[in-house]
Amino acid sequence: MVDEQQKVAESRPGVLGKLGLTAGVGDAAMSSLATFLGGLVAANILGDSELGVYAVFFTAFNFGQVIANNLVYIPAEVTAVAWPTELRTRVLTQSIPLGILPSVVGALAIGTASLVAAQISTADVVLPLTVTAALTTFLWPTQDHIRRMLHIADRSFAAAGVSAAHLATTALAIWVLIVVDVRSEWVPFGALAIANLISLLIGLALAMPKRRSQPSPEHLRLRSLTRSGRWLMVGVGIPTLTAFGSASIITFTAGPEVLGWAEAARIVAHPILVLGTGLGYVMGPRIMRGAIARDAAVSRHNHRRFSGFLVAASAAYALIVGIDWAGNPMSFLVPDAYVVEWLVVATIAANVFMAAVVLVLQELTAAQRTKTIAVVSAISAPLQLLGAATANVTQAFARPISLIIGNGARLYGTSRAISQIYTSDDPQVNTQATDPARR
């Protein structure tokens, strides 16, 4: 029997793994920097009220991605983790066709944001945001899935290349749209939609050259994927839907200008989520394999590394951008984030909680505990909405307060569930986690 020290050693990345970690963080950084550019241009070309409307659409965009991403793509990725490394990207030939319809349904969720925005803004603002946000919501999950599969196939540098193309195309599209003088509301999501389409095609070109070398180890079935994915969709969808509800509550309670300031602070604090996502790209496959094997040593090792990076980086970042001072570049790039003192610091703290959930969700998904994710999310949602409901008193702080309460509750509940994975004596639990037919 392999002892715990050997198991931990096997989970350590080594030189190639460290390079993969660097590429994974770089991939997430460049992908999120593209989103940051969209938010940055929105913060500078839209008024405070229009930025609040943009925030409503952005939360709807986050919710719309959940359907295809969690119903089809992530369960497919969990399946592919168990395949030989050189065959893992073969899953794309099956997963992408299965994900098209859920992506369409996700894009239709933008209609809900349109209904909310129509109550606080005009048609010439709402229409362009609706069209461009819907297109971005349709394309984003598939592009994201391709990049994650490149990481799972140990091709992190290829994934980073896709994100580099995404970032460059976003910047170019923003410049072109501004130069041709289109209405400002078309620019933020419009540039992201263009960039997603181009980087998606580049990702496919990089991922698929070996697709005919060998057949896929498994034939994916939509019903099998959704058996796990439906709970994951509920578990991840509830927090994103709750975030949309929270934004709506803040808008109607405190006004769109207040939500606009909170959105500006979100843009500044976003790099913390970038870090969490990048670490999750590289550590996720390891911790998923550890969860499938019920290897507690791998879990502890990767959680310690993840938390250490996250907390240290967040504290350092808060020292630089937390308040408005001469050495803070964000105070010049996103001045609205500093209208309310300490709002950025509070938002960074909220993002630490959000990012900390990333690895936990991957671990529970691999262990076939997606129903647990759904239950914990359902319990935490009312708490998050209550936090948003304080907006008449806390104003812009209502957004980070609601996120800290909601994600703190999720983190507590899911962490308890993880501890049970490695202490369960039920042999059926292990069978469910390792039997591909049950995925």
Cα–Cα dist 386/109, whole Å: 23
Name the residue ranges covered by the structural domains of the chain: 4-438
Res. 403 pLDDT band, cuts 50 70 90: very high
Mean of the pLDDT values across residues 59-70? 89
Look at residue 362 and tell me whether its pLDDT is greater than 90.
Answer: no
Query: What would the 3-class secondary structure string for the chain be?
Result: CCCHHHHHHHHCCHHHHHHHHHHHHHHHHHHHHHHHHHHHHHHHHCCHHHHHHHHHHHHHHHHHHHHHHHHHHHHHHHHHHCCCHHHHHHHHHHHHHHHHHHHHHHHHCHHHHHHHHHCCCCHHHHHHHHHHHHHHHHHHHHHHHHHHHHHHCCCHHHHHHHHHHHHHHHHHHHHHHHHCCCCHHHHHHHHHHHHHHHHHHHHHHHHCCCCCCCCCCCCCCHHHHHHHHHHHHHHHHHHHHHHHHHHHHHHHHHCHHHHHHHHHHHHHHCHHHHHHHHHHHHHHHHHHHHHHCCCHHHHHHHHHHHHHHHHHHHHHHHHHHCCCCCCCCHHHHCHHHHCCCCHHHHHHHHHHHHHHHHHHHHHHHHCCCHHHHHHHHHHHHHHHHHHHCCHHHHHHHHHHHHHHHHHHHHHHHHHHHHHHHCCCCCHHHHHHHHCHHHC
User: What pLDDT is attached to residue 292?
Assistant: 83
Give the best-scoring range by mean pLDDT among 161-170, 214-223, 300-309, 423-432. 161-170
Mean of the pLDDT values across residues 331-357? 93
The C-alpha angle 96, 237, 299, rounded to 5 degrees, equals 85
Phi-psi category of 345—alpha, beta or left, where left has phi over 0 and alpha has psi -120 to 50? alpha
User: What pLDDT is attached to residue 4?
Assistant: 42
Average per-residue pLDDT for the chain:
85
Residues 72-120 pLDDT 10s = 998 898 888 888 888 888 889 899 999 999 999 999 989 999 998 998 8
Residues 194-218 pLDDT 10s = 999 999 999 999 987 554 556 666 7
User: What pLDDT is attached to residue 13?
Assistant: 47
Residues 270-302 pLDDT 10s = 889 888 877 877 787 788 888 888 888 888 888
Phi-psi category of 368—alpha, beta or left, where left has phi over 0 and alpha has psi -120 to 50? left
User: What pLDDT is attached to residue 433?
Assistant: 41
Residue reference for tokens 């925005």? 117
Residues 369-382 pLDDT 10s = 888 989 999 999 99
User: What pLDDT is attached to residue 21?
Assistant: 55
CB 102 within 8 A of CB 170: no
Length of the chain: 439
Cα–Cα dist 128/183, whole Å: 8
CA–CA distances in Å: residue 426 to residues 3, 421, 423, 430: 22, 10, 9, 7
Positive or negative, the CA dihedral 190, 188, 144, 415 is: negative
Q: Considering the entire predicted model, what is its pTM?
A: 0.77
User: What pLDDT is attached to residue 184?
Assistant: 92
CA–CA distances in Å: residue 93 to residues 83, 163, 178, 208: 15, 21, 37, 8
User: What pLDDT is attached to residue 144?
Assistant: 92
User: What pLDDT is attached to residue 213?
Assistant: 58
At residue 109, what is the residue type? A
Look at residue 253 and tell me whether its pLDDT is greater than 50.
Answer: yes
User: What pLDDT is attached to residue 271?
Assistant: 86
Res. 31 pLDDT band, cuts 50 70 90: confident
The C-alpha angle 297, 303, 305, rounded to 5 degrees, equals 105
Res. 3 pLDDT band, cuts 50 70 90: very low
